[in-house]
Structure 1
């Protein structure tokens, strides 16, 4: 706007100050600069999520599709409208306020949904289920991937009944399982019922573990090769991190198996037999992953023993070399100490061949000591 204001100045005033042939150049430059400034778009960062604290609100149509809702339409929702799915950020003030004031849930359920540190579990309340599971934390699409040394299994808190699904996760966490289900619903290929949705969430959460375990198994093979080729110095830290990851995963996978098993045996009316059958398949898959993880943990234990053996052998070999070096230097040191004493009566003091004889003696004893050390395998 300042440039346009300058362009509105009296041209005669400008011509009186500068030569006339420069005036046209000045005005052309100002018009060009102003045009580029007006064409440059003003960008701003778009916040992800339907409302503050609300990641998304979906109304399932019962045929695999959905309709996105804002918070106002979500407040006007009635059970006869269909199945509603609300996904919140657990640590957001607005989400906590909605859960406490407008969700209509029991205080026991709301406290559990907003709890910070939780282990996987399932609690039946009336005709609904309070479910807390764990999923692999991924990198959001709008963020740069970071190299993680630890695997983070983040909590997913859920309340599910016949016509309502409320899920919560922390604002800094990103779970790809929910993203995949949401995309399937937007394409009309999603779940039809809450029981179907619950089984699909469990399946996706467990399926996300597979690439993690495959990567850990490949790293175990790589560390095994490095130990075999004598690269023990680079293995120690990586092996330590790998064992820590296996412990972290095992800490939550066993309770998650028990939680899914409890869902399978629950008698909620909205859980159909096919939902329980699919949950059984999810449990079997999780059991295989737990066994796979136990095998990885056992292999890391074996690698740790192999690494300790390699290091012990290296220390023993270096100690033998130092002992061999000391043994080689022992005869010359003894001879030098005896004939270097500043006392009377040392033989060969006045003999011209004494030094030659001593050197020959030291050489012979050193060669004999070297042969003996090689014979016993110290060198």
Structure 2
């Protein structure tokens, strides 16, 4: 096979194709264009093709030129998917989830905007085909591609697949760390912040943890199935890396469970704080009503428009009544303090 080097840094030059590289078996690669991809044969070496799943050109290649079984092609282009693995002949159909981050040229994305997005994979002895949606950006694949450009990447398909899985799980750690820090912040805000804001942030955080776990649990099962697959191109060293990835993923799932439990506890604490605030305000209102009750009764009695009200013709009657009301109010205040209402 002749030289088909396009450019080491070419991404998305071909319609629907993010990149295509031919592994040299020593940790490096050569970048191919679509014409070189069409001329590729398994004897040329291991090839890695990365497509935009929702691009018409990529869909056409998968269905007509990729040499896939129709059921495999349909699964690779499927819209709604969950992590799973299917062994078909000597290859593996794999659906995984990775962290969707912002492209390098864009500003940093907040944790609330981070999501797990599907990565569709076909792997056999001489070929790895990956597909992700054009609106998503998975840093794990970028890192592997950069390592290949530097001559420090994987050498064969099993190692490449294990490295992709490892990088996908690795990118979960900063997301979980950010969520844990947010739980700590909310723990402080419960007693000092606005209740409505804390409640909304708790709701979003708990929903995000449940959503992440929804995909990580089946992803653990999928990786476990890859590890136990008897494909000849999966070496013992590759399976050892898969075991390490599975262990790390299990720890992350436990971490998510802990975050979910902590948010539940914080929600209960928030409810308790709100109840205490309501009770305290109710006590204050009750105390105020008790303080105003004697003046209201006296004012009501002397405000009746009937005959026989004492002090009508006495110039000191108003001052005496005001003094009497003040004394009663002070006495009521002392009683309320004595019984710990104030």
1:211 aligns with 2:174: yes
- Structure 2 CA distance, aligned partners of 1:69 and 1:347? 109
State the Cα distance separating 1:142 from its structure 2 match.
Answer: 2.8
> 1:252 aligns to what?
215
Give the counterpart of 2:251 among 265, 271, 288: 288
Shift of 1:349: 2.1
* Aligned residue number for residue 160 of structure 1: 123
Q: Return closer, same or farther for 1:195/1:278 CA change in 2, 3 Å cut-off.
A: same
Q: 2:100 aligns with which of 107, 124, 137?
A: 137
Aligned to 1:179: 142
- For 1:338 and 1:238, the matched residues in 2 are separated by 54
Larger Rg: 1
Among candidates 43, 53, 56, match of residue 93 of structure 1: 56
The answer for the alignment partner of 1:330 in structure 2 is 293
Which residue of structure 2 aligns with residue 242 of structure 1?
Answer: 205
Shift of 1:230: 5.3
Partner of 1:37: none
* Structure 1 residue aligned with 2:268: 305
Aligned counterpart, 2:308: 345
Per the alignment, in what secondary structure is the counterpart of residue 51 of structure 1?
A: coil
The equivalences for 1:1-379 within 5 A come to: 48-147=11-110, 149-229=112-192, 232=195, 234-379=197-342
135-144 or 212-221: bigger deviation = 135-144
Q: In structure 2, how many angstroms separate the alpha carbons of the residues matched to 1:182 and 1:171?
A: 17
Note the alpha carbon deviations across 1:168-223, whole angstroms, 9 max, x for none: 00001010100011111111111111111111111100000001111111111111
The question of whether the paired residues in 1 share the 8 Å contact of 2:191 and 2:273 is answered with no
Task: Tell me the secondary structure at the aligned position of residue 95 of structure 2.
Answer: strand
**Aligned-pair distance for 1:371?**
1.1
Q: Deviations over 1:283-325 (max 9, x none)?
A: 0000001111111111111111111111111111111111111
Q: CA deviation at 1:267?
A: 1.1
RMSD across aligned C-alpha pairs, in angstroms?
1.6
The TM-score with structure 2 as length reference comes to 0.94
Per the TM alignment, residue 48 of structure 1 is displaced from its structure 2 partner at its CA by: 4.2
**How many residues are aligned here?**
334
What SS does the corresponding residue of 2:15 show, helix, strand or coil?
Answer: coil
In structure 2, distance between residues paired with 1:47 and 1:67: 11
Paired with 1:297 and 1:310, the residues of 2 have a C-alpha distance of 20
Query: 1:78, CA displacement in angstroms?
Result: 0.4
Give secondary structure in 1 for the equivalent of 2:47: strand
Post-superposition offset of 1:235: 2.0
TM-score by length of 1: 0.85
Query: CA-to-partner distance for each residue in 1:42-85, whole Å, 9 max, x for gaps?
Result: xxxx9941300000001011111111000000000001000111
3-state DSSP class of the match of 2:67? Answer: coil
Q: Which runs of 5+ in 1 are unaligned?
A: 1-45
By how many angstroms is 1:147 displaced? 3.8
